[in-house]
Amino acid sequence: MMHKLTQQVWVPVLVAAYTTAVLAGCATSQHSAQASDAASSTGSGVASPRTSASRSASVLPAPWASSQGTPAQQAAAQAALAAYQGMWSDLARLGGTSDWRNPELGRYMTGDVLSNWSSSFALNKRQGLVLLGTPVSTPRVFSVAPSDHPNTVEIADCVDMRNWLQYGASTHRLADSVPGGRHWSEAAVTFDPRWQRWLVSQQLLGKKGSC
């Protein structure tokens, strides 16, 4: 049975000195994470909530058996993967200028995922910070549903942010000396009938070393 990311989780990204966060819990039948009332700096330009997860930190869920899926499921999985990877590509590119107003941020994200990343970029902009480098994503589809007309794909990932770091916008010097790391990412990618495209609608991003 497919598990649901029942609530959005705001991971306040791109913050060097972060004091408070608006965080929602994310609990599922197979995986759970509970966010605290504070955030911890990861050193990669990402401030993430202190979380505890039921899954072992380094264990990805079993991959979805695409060979056994329907043609519709296989097509949905490929489209969702493209959207998820497109999201990270846009974040890497627009993070280089903290361009939080750029409409291209909405190409592959929607809802709270979009608004929270945009808010994080805006905070970075106010603090004179940018993200330079590239996050390395290695996503894995582990659920596609329903089988006849799939509209939801769940993706697990371990995103390497060691070379996606926070710099001063004017100096291009590292904002701090804390190294980056790898972060657990779990996302729901859904088909939006209004826009007729797949969009990342929910995301859970773990702290540094969570995978």
Average pLDDT of span 1-6: 42
Residue 63: the pLDDT is 87
- Using DSSP, state whether 131 is helix, strand or coil: strand
Angle at 16 between CA 15 and CA 20, to 5 degrees: 60
Band (6; pLDDT cuts 50, 70, 90): very low
Sign of the torsion angle spanned by Cα atoms 164, 169, 172, 174:
negative
Band (61; pLDDT cuts 50, 70, 90): confident
Q: What is the pTM of this model?
A: 0.77
Buried b vs exposed e over 142-172: b needs ≥16 C-beta within 10 Å?
bbbbeeeebebbbbbbbbbbeebbbbebeee
In the structure encoding, which two tokens stand for residue 47, read together? Answer: 């401030």
Average pLDDT of span 77-85: 97
Write the CA distances from 110 to 10, 126, 146, 180, integer angstroms: 13, 23, 21, 27
Task: Tell the burial category of 205 from Cβ atoms under 10 Å away from its Cβ (0-12, 13-18, 19+).
Answer: buried
**pLDDT tens-digit readout, 147-183:** 899 999 999 999 999 999 999 999 999 998 888 999 9
Q: Per DSSP, which regions of the chain are E strands?
A: 26-27, 32-33, 39-41, 47-49, 129-133, 140-145, 152-160, 164-168, 182-192, 197-208
Cis omega before residue 63 (within 30°)?
no
Yes or no: say if 183 and 159 are a contact pair by the CB < 8 Å rule: yes
Average pLDDT of span 106-135: 96
Give the C-alpha separation, 29 to 132, whole Å. Answer: 37
Yes or no: say if 164 and 135 are a contact pair by the CB < 8 Å rule: yes
Residue 62: the pLDDT is 87
What DSSP string describes 36-87? -SSEEE-SSSBEEE---BSS-TTPPPPPP-GGGS-HHHHHHHHHHHHHHHHH
Residue for token digits 């043609």? 71
pLDDT of 108 higher than 80: yes
Q: For all residues of the chain together, what is the average pLDDT?
A: 78
